[in-house]
A and B are shown apart, each in its own frame.
Chain A
Amino acid sequence: MKLELRGITKRFPGVVANDNVNLSVNTGEVLSLIGENGAGKSTLMSVLYGMYKADEGEIVIDGSPVAFNSPADAIAAGIGMVHQHFMLVPVFTVAENVVLGVEPTGKFGKLHIDEARRMVREISDKYSLDLDPDAVIEDLPVGVQQRVEIVKVLLRDAKVVVFDEPTAVLTPSEIIEFFEIVNTLVKAGRGVVFITHKLKEALHIANRIAVLRRGKVVGEADPKTATESQIAEMMVGRPVQLTVDKKLADAGASVLQVKNLTVLDADGRTHVDSVSFEVHAGEIVGIAGVQGNGQTELVEALTGLRKAAGGSISLDGNDLTHANPRERHQMGMAHIPEDRQRQGLVGGLSVAENLVLTRYHDDQFSHGVLVDWDSANTIADTLIAEYDIRTPNKETGVGTLSGGNQQKVIVARELSRDLRLTIAAQPTRGVDVGSIEYIHSRIVKERDTGTAVLIVSTELDEVMALSDRLLVMYRGKVVAELDPKKVTPMEVGLYMAGSRPDSTVQA
């Protein structure tokens, strides 16, 4: 089967998400579609999968045009999709999820669940996916959930399988398993579209690479000859530096001391389990781990958004276990939160208002109970210029900016004062490559002025590149302390998955 997209254009109010896109994929090959967040990859795939209707252009299968009005049409035409956020009902079993929509049934729509189990087992054995049809989805690790998605697609006999950012949630060893599965699929005569923003992975697995920028295909690359920086330049439109440029850390006195910190959620489940560590002035400590292993709760406890159930936190020797967020802020703690829309910014307020959100009550910005907008606006102008925030003006609603510029607003607000400790969670999630470069350099600069920095990221490459010292969290515990210069991503990945390689170098 040959699947072609010809001249696809999709417009949303105010933006052209896809602009005359031409792409083709054959069975038996892997096409990697690479582009930054917001480049239009997901929109394009929604068009292909019948979730959006293209304004112009057509989808062509083996030479004849087809029209998809719903995912059901796309499935019938042999297209399968594994979404970035898995489309699995968490309380259902594997078998129930797999057959949903194509249930084997008898009289009165009676479900033949034994038949469903048999179907899952058959496919799972054929592709050696090792799935238990009766396991409940919410009890399964992410890597296994992804295999359930793959079985779903195979059961519907998809000729072309689209994977949307499939590796974002996987550990390094799961990624390797995933690539094996992709190879099996290709050998079995299926086509694969692999959507990603990770250059290394595209180069590793793809037969062809297509690069998307601002809704347009800006070129194709041959993975055999292309380099990472060439593709990155195509993605961004200018040369970018992919590695973090930093000197050796000059660590000073201990700034943050965390002792036996335990954090529970509202249901009383333990998310952070008696964690102890220190962060020194002038060093970057990174926390690696698969998402959902307690990093979010740890950061919330450190910044005062969540109560600590046990243990203590102190900054420069002052205990602030029970201090509120503003007190912590005033003691020199900065927080770049992982969810910038919900915790970092107020979308409806202007750029200027967001820039003084943590300081409007300082004497500098207030006359008694009134905000001194003159000085707030002055500082906003300075910060917009200094941090290269691309905004029409300072009165623009911050919610209308791109992800990268929103993140720069937060970075500007948090880092533009004298700090003792900076805590950054997922500082570059959903941020374009150009802004990543800038934010990383800003964080390193902050370290070089003697601030203690704690970075939490699920992007292993990012924490390994930025950190001077690396901690790995697994199921709420710090399971390893490593020297990022002396370990490989594979070894860190094993710790992230909860196993303990005995040959690694302990820092």
Chain B
Amino acid sequence: MSIAVETVAPMLSLEQRKRARNVGFSLILLALISAFFFSGRPGDAGFKLVDSFTLVLPSQPFARVLAVLLGALGAVQLYRGFGKWTNVVLAISTGAFVVGFLAWATSGGSFNLTGMLQDTVTRSVPITLGAIAGILCERSGVINIAIEGQLLGGAFAGSVIGSLYGPWAGVLGAMAMGVALSALLAVFAIRFRVDQVIVGFAINFFSLGLTSFLSQRVLTPHPEYNIVKPFTPYAIPLLSDIPVLGVALFTQTYFVYVSVIAVVLSTWFLYRTRWGLRTRAIGEYPQAAGTLGVDVIRLRYRNVWIAGAIAGLGGAWWPIGTVGRFDQNITSGRGFIALAAVIFGRWHPVGALTAALVFGLAEAIQLKMSNLDTGIPSEFLLMAPYIVTLIVVAGFVGRSRAPKAAGQVYEASK
């Protein structure tokens, strides 16, 4: 074991300085876009908040103010930096920029902002649950690239079983399917020591192929197996009466509430219990836990199974939380976005939830935009969530530390 050379100097590391500079330039870039692009459309933008109130933003002046503000912040960042406030400044600036973008896109019309927020939360569900599945696996040292496959399998099973025995049975069926697919990952990665990334990809393709085949051959001729009665939103008494937030957060399907519970519970278990301590230990340095009598292999199996159940639940969201049916490749890459949320969230459930909301917002905006006449081609809008993924992972995250033993085969004595 080597000891790292401690550089205790309070000076920022080279990488931190580089990142601070990049953040500064990014802010200036946002300012330029606001100044020259967003101010190009005259007219007022109406953001409908509640039935009786619509917020009106004059889009041109707003874009100009925004440009000046962002430019100033960028200049300050480049000149002396915001230090530990950098991320806060960046988050607020990006938020303001998004509002500026919406104001530009809506100018001359109006749209339902509250509805968009509600949509954001709804759409973050499978990403959040998928990310928790990823976190549980990776924290115990197994890389889970197969989230996409587990979501897709869950969606298929949820739809078929839900059509036959009702939505609650569908949810259970989806979770069972998630466990089955994750058991496959566990056996190959833990028992047969196959490269975990390759097993994960194999499972993704297996799941896509199998569900597409069954969907064509079974569900198309028998549509009665592919029609679930989805959950309807449940308005939480009192809380749902709060303006704007009541609709966005507290008038949702069970899926939203369950995924919040999943975030809270998984955080508590990971950081406050014996199981969590051992899980994190075997993800960082399994030999340390192994030599203390912890059964590394069994604990990894268990974590991967639980992760599978959670991913399966996330998959059930498509048929049972939204459209009431399964379509080929219905998940369309959300599992990979969940993987990005794991990294963006720094392997912490709360971080993953935050990331999932960002991605959910990107999806919700993309949907709204295709209804407004912005002149942006719809194909480009469809790319938006993925572009956001790239930017977020490359730019915002900076450096985050993965569990050290993730992806490594456990050898009892080393």
Q: Do A and B bind each other?
A: yes
**A-side interface residues toward B, CB under 8 Å?**
46, 49, 51-52, 70-72, 75, 81, 83, 85-92, 96-97, 99-103, 105, 108-111, 138-139, 141-142, 145, 152, 169, 264, 267-271, 290-294, 475-476
Please choose the segment from B88-96, B115-123, B149-157, B268-276 that sits at the chain A interface, where 4 or more of its residues have CB less than 8 A away: B268-276
Instruction: Identify which of A87, A105, A142 contacts B274 (C-beta below 8 A).
Output: A105
Category for how many chain B residues contact A:
35 or more
Q: How far is the CA of A91 from the CA of B276 in the complex (A)?
A: 14
Residues of B330-372 whose CB lies within 8 A of A: none
Contact A83 B15 (CB under 8 A): no
Residues of A close to B288: CB separation below 8 A: 87-89, 97, 100
State whether the Cβ of B87 lies closer than 8 Å to any Cβ in chain A.
no
Further contacts, 6 of them, CB under 8 A, given A46-B413, A89-B281, A92-B284: A85-B287, A89-B285, A101-B289, A101-B294, A105-B274, A109-B275
Contact A291 B2 (CB under 8 A): yes
State whether the Cβ of B238 lies closer than 8 Å to any Cβ in chain A.
no
Residues of B close to A75: CB separation below 8 A: 292-293
Listed by A's residue number, 8 A-B pairs whose Cβ atoms lie within 8 Å are A51-B291, A88-B285, A100-B289, A101-B289, A108-B273, A111-B277, A138-B4, A292-B5
Q: How far is the CA of A51 from the CA of B291 in the complex (A)?
A: 8
* A-contact bits for B131-165, CB 8 A (1 contact / 0 none): 00000000000000000000000000000000000
Q: How far is the CA of A72 from the CA of B412 in the complex (A)?
A: 13
Knowing A71-B292, A87-B287, A100-B292, the reply to whether A291 touches B3 (Cβ < 8 A) is yes
Contact A83 B285 (CB under 8 A): no
State whether the Cβ of B290 lies closer than 8 Å to any Cβ in chain A.
yes
Contact A90 B284 (CB under 8 A): yes
Knowing A90-B284, A292-B4, the reply to whether A110 touches B272 (Cβ < 8 A) is yes
Contact A100 B294 (CB under 8 A): yes
State whether the Cβ of B278 lies closer than 8 Å to any Cβ in chain A.
yes
Contact A103 B274 (CB under 8 A): yes
Q: How far is the CB of B1 from chain A (nearest CB, A)?
A: 5
* A-contact bits for B6-27, CB 8 A (1 contact / 0 none): 1100000111100000000000
Instruction: Identify which of A85, A100, A169, A270 contacts B277 (C-beta below 8 A).
Output: A100
Q: How far is the CA of A83 from the CA of B13 in the complex (A)?
A: 34
Instruction: Identify which of B1, B14, B273 contacts A109 (C-beta below 8 A).
Output: B273
Q: How far is the CA of A132 from the CA of B388 in the complex (A)?
A: 44
Residues of A close to B16: CB separation below 8 A: 268
Q: How far is the CB of B114 from chain A (nearest CB, A)?
A: 38
Instruction: Identify which of A46, A88, A105, A294 contacts B5 (C-beta below 8 A).
Output: A294
Residues of A close to B291: CB separation below 8 A: 49, 51, 71, 81, 83, 87
Contact B294 A270 (CB under 8 A): no
* A-contact bits for B272-308, CB 8 A (1 contact / 0 none): 1111111011001101111111110000000000000
Q: How far is the CA of A41 from the CA of B276 in the complex (A)?
A: 35
Q: How far is the CA of A290 from the CA of B284 in the complex (A)?
A: 25
Q: Which residue of A lies closest to B294 (CB)?
A: A101
Q: How far is the CA of A80 from the CA of B295 in the complex (A)?
A: 17
Q: How far is the CA of A92 from the CA of B412 in the complex (A)?
A: 21
Knowing A70-B293, A101-B294, the reply to whether A475 touches B6 (Cβ < 8 A) is yes
Instruction: Identify which of A92, A101, A290, A475 contacts B293 (C-beta below 8 A).
Output: A101
Contact B3 A87 (CB under 8 A): no
Q: How far is the CB of A171 from chain B (nearest CB, A)?
A: 11
Q: How far is the CB of B113 from chain A (nearest CB, A)?
A: 41
Q: How far is the CB of B243 from chain A (nearest CB, A)?
A: 38
Residues of B close to A264: CB separation below 8 A: 14
Contact B5 A96 (CB under 8 A): no
Residues of B close to A293: CB separation below 8 A: 5
Q: Which residue of A lies closest to B411 (CB)?
A: A51
Q: Which residue of B lies closest to A297 (CB)?
A: B5
Knowing A75-B292, A103-B277, A152-B292, the reply to whether A91 touches B284 (Cβ < 8 A) is yes
Contact B272 A111 (CB under 8 A): yes
Q: How far is the CB of A106 from chain B (nearest CB, A)?
A: 9
Knowing A49-B291, A100-B278, A292-B3, the reply to whether A111 touches B285 (Cβ < 8 A) is no
Residues of A close to B414: CB separation below 8 A: 85
Q: Which residue of B lies closest to A96 (CB)?
A: B277
Residues of A close to B13: CB separation below 8 A: 267-269
Q: How far is the CB of A374 from chain B (nearest CB, A)?
A: 41
Residues of B close to A86: CB separation below 8 A: 1
Contact B293 A71 (CB under 8 A): yes
Q: Which residue of B lies closest to A91 (CB)?
A: B284
Residues of B close to A152: CB separation below 8 A: 292
Q: How far is the CB of A107 from chain B (nearest CB, A)?
A: 10
Knowing A269-B13, A270-B5, A290-B3, the reply to whether A87 touches B277 (Cβ < 8 A) is no
Q: How far is the CA of A138 from the CA of B413 in the complex (A)?
A: 22
Q: How far is the CB of A318 from chain B (nearest CB, A)?
A: 30
* Residue among B15, B273, B414 facing the most chain A CB atoms (10 A cut-off): B273
Contact A110 B289 (CB under 8 A): no
Q: How far is the CA of A202 from the CA of B319 in the complex (A)?
A: 70
Contact A269 B277 (CB under 8 A): no
Contact B294 A267 (CB under 8 A): no
Contact B1 A85 (CB under 8 A): yes
Question: What are the 9 A-B residue pairs with the smallest beta carbon separation, nearest first?
Answer: A268-B14, A72-B293, A101-B292, A87-B288, A292-B2, A292-B3, A109-B273, A51-B413, A109-B274
Residues of B close to A46: CB separation below 8 A: 413
Q: Which residue of A lies closest to B289 (CB)?
A: A100
* Residue among A71, A85, A142, A264 facing the most chain B CB atoms (10 A cut-off): A71
Contact A142 B3 (CB under 8 A): yes
Q: How far is the CB of A339 from chain B (nearest CB, A)?
A: 12
* Residue among B4, B15, B274, B284 facing the most chain A CB atoms (10 A cut-off): B274
Residues of B close to A49: CB separation below 8 A: 291
Residues of B close to A290: CB separation below 8 A: 3
Q: How far is the CB of A90 from chain B (nearest CB, A)?
A: 7
Contact B5 A476 (CB under 8 A): yes
Residues of A close to B280: CB separation below 8 A: 89, 91-92
Q: Which residue of A lies closest to B276 (CB)?
A: A111
Q: How far is the CB of A8 from chain B (nearest CB, A)?
A: 16
Residues of A close to B3: CB separation below 8 A: 141-142, 290-292
Q: How far is the CB of B317 from chain A (nearest CB, A)?
A: 27
Q: Which residue of A lies closest to B413 (CB)?
A: A51
Q: Which residue of B lies closest to A88 (CB)?
A: B288
Q: How far is the CA of A261 from the CA of B278 in the complex (A)?
A: 43
* Residue among B288, B295, B404 facing the most chain A CB atoms (10 A cut-off): B288
Knowing A83-B291, A111-B272, A269-B7, the reply to whether A52 touches B278 (Cβ < 8 A) is no
Residues of B383-414 whose CB lies within 8 A of A: 399, 404, 412-414
Residues of B close to A291: CB separation below 8 A: 2-3
Residues of B close to A96: CB separation below 8 A: 277
Q: How far is the CB of B81 from chain A (nearest CB, A)?
A: 16
Q: Which residue of A lies closest to B13 (CB)?
A: A268
Q: How far is the CA of A70 from the CA of B412 in the complex (A)?
A: 10
Q: How far is the CB of A287 from chain B (nearest CB, A)?
A: 15
Knowing A72-B293, A83-B291, the reply to whether A89 touches B284 (Cβ < 8 A) is yes
Q: How far is the CB of B284 from chain A (nearest CB, A)?
A: 5
Contact B15 A268 (CB under 8 A): yes
Residues of A close to B281: CB separation below 8 A: 89, 92, 100
Contact B273 A111 (CB under 8 A): yes
Residues of A close to B272: CB separation below 8 A: 110-111
Q: How far is the CA of A51 from the CA of B412 in the complex (A)?
A: 7
* Residue among B7, B275, B289, B292 facing the most chain A CB atoms (10 A cut-off): B292
Q: How far is the CA of A236 from the CA of B188 in the complex (A)?
A: 45
